[in-house]
Amino acid sequence: MKNATIQKRPRQRLSGIDPRRKRVADEVRACIARSGNSRAAVEDAIGISQSALSRKLRAESAFTVDELLGLAAFLDVEASEFFPKERAR
């Protein structure tokens, strides 16, 4: 087996927030708003602090897969709703 070189993506682009992370955060925020649940209820449901949820909703840090799956179950939505389709240019 050949040694594979894995390139890591930068955590944050030099020009600001990663646009993909922002789209996911926007969709999560919209799903929370539509559900009528408080942020405190969301924090409890997925086991993160208020400050961590705030950073994630501002797209300063990324949601983990487990957090997104937990959110989907708590909000009774498909996890795919958090990933908007790319629009044709």
Q: Summarize pLDDT for 70-85 with one digit per residue, the tens.
A: 999 999 999 999 998 8
Least confident of 14-18, 24-28, 36-40, 51-55: 14-18
Q: Across residues 50-57, what is the average pLDDT?
A: 97
Q: Check residue 8 and give its pLDDT.
A: 57
Full 3-state SS string of 4-57: CCCCCCCCCECCECCHHHHHHHHHHHHHHHHHCCCHHHHHHHHCCCHHHHHHHH
pLDDT at residue 10 is higher than 60: no
- What is the pTM for the complete model shown? 0.76
